[in-house]
Amino acid sequence: MESEVDIGLAGQTDCVEIAGMSRALIENGLRWRWKPSRILSLIRHPDCVVITATVSDEIIGFAAMEFHELHAHLNLLAVKSKRRRNGVGQKLLDWLEESVMIAGLNYISLEVRTSNVAAITFYEKAGYHIDHLASGYYNGIEDAYRMKHDLISDDVAKRRP
């Protein structure tokens, strides 16, 4: 793991770089949905968080999450190719999961391309499981797996007020 990696909140000026990384690393081959204006709206939204992983002021990874009443949804998570498999993605995920637990939410959901075996494996190792298949999720071009990570047991969740 890279000890010099800092995780923190994204600033408004980061939206262009984050959107470009999303286009190149996540939305490759798809219609570009996460443009700078949309990333900026997430940064400004009170029920969302956008974080970055930086090394010497260079953004090497990022993640965006929405908080709902009972769960959180991970919209985006990416790490630059040359920085992968060094624990950066896990540091981003750990930061988000801690925030979700502090918020008292039950689980985290996300979608991932069925063809992205590396990402699926990453999430499974982090405790996520495939909940179901979402056919044609990506612009009707590609299917997605909806994945879920239960932070509390179903029994405890059912007893919550």
- Please report, for the domain that includes residue 43, its CATH number: 3.40.630.30
Residues 139, 153: Cα–Cα separation, whole Å:
34
Q: Tell me the residue length of the chain.
A: 161
Residues 84, 31: Cα–Cα separation, whole Å:
24
Q: What residues have CB less than 8 Å from 113, skipping those under 6 apart?
A: 119, 138, 142, 143, 144
- More confident call, 134 vs 159: 134
Instruction: Let me know if residue 58 belongs to a domain.
Output: yes
- Nearest CA to 60 among 43, 41, 85? 85
pLDDT average, residue stretch 27-40: 89
Residue 1, pLDDT above cutoff 60: no
Residues 107, 109: Cα–Cα separation, whole Å:
7
Enter the DSSP assignment of 39.
H
Looking at residue 81, its amino acid is S
- Nearest CA to 63 among 54, 52, 73? 52
pLDDT score of 157: 56
pLDDT score of 14: 95
pLDDT score of 142: 87
Instruction: Let me know if residue 1 belongs to a domain.
Output: no
In three-state secondary structure terms, 55 is strand
Give the model's confidence band at 138: pLDDT under 50 very low, under 70 low, under 90 confident, else very high: confident
Give the model's confidence band at 47: pLDDT under 50 very low, under 70 low, under 90 confident, else very high: very high
Boundaries of domain holding 16: 6-159
pLDDT above 70: percentage of residues in the chain: 93
Instruction: Let me know if residue 61 belongs to a domain.
Output: yes
48: which 2 tokens? 């969302």
What is the overall mean pLDDT for the chain? 89
Instruction: Let me know if residue 102 belongs to a domain.
Output: yes
pLDDT average, residue stretch 95-103: 93
pLDDT score of 81: 74
Tell me how many domains the chain contains: 1
Q: What's the pTM value of the predicted model, to 2 decimals?
A: 0.88
pLDDT average, residue stretch 31-59: 93
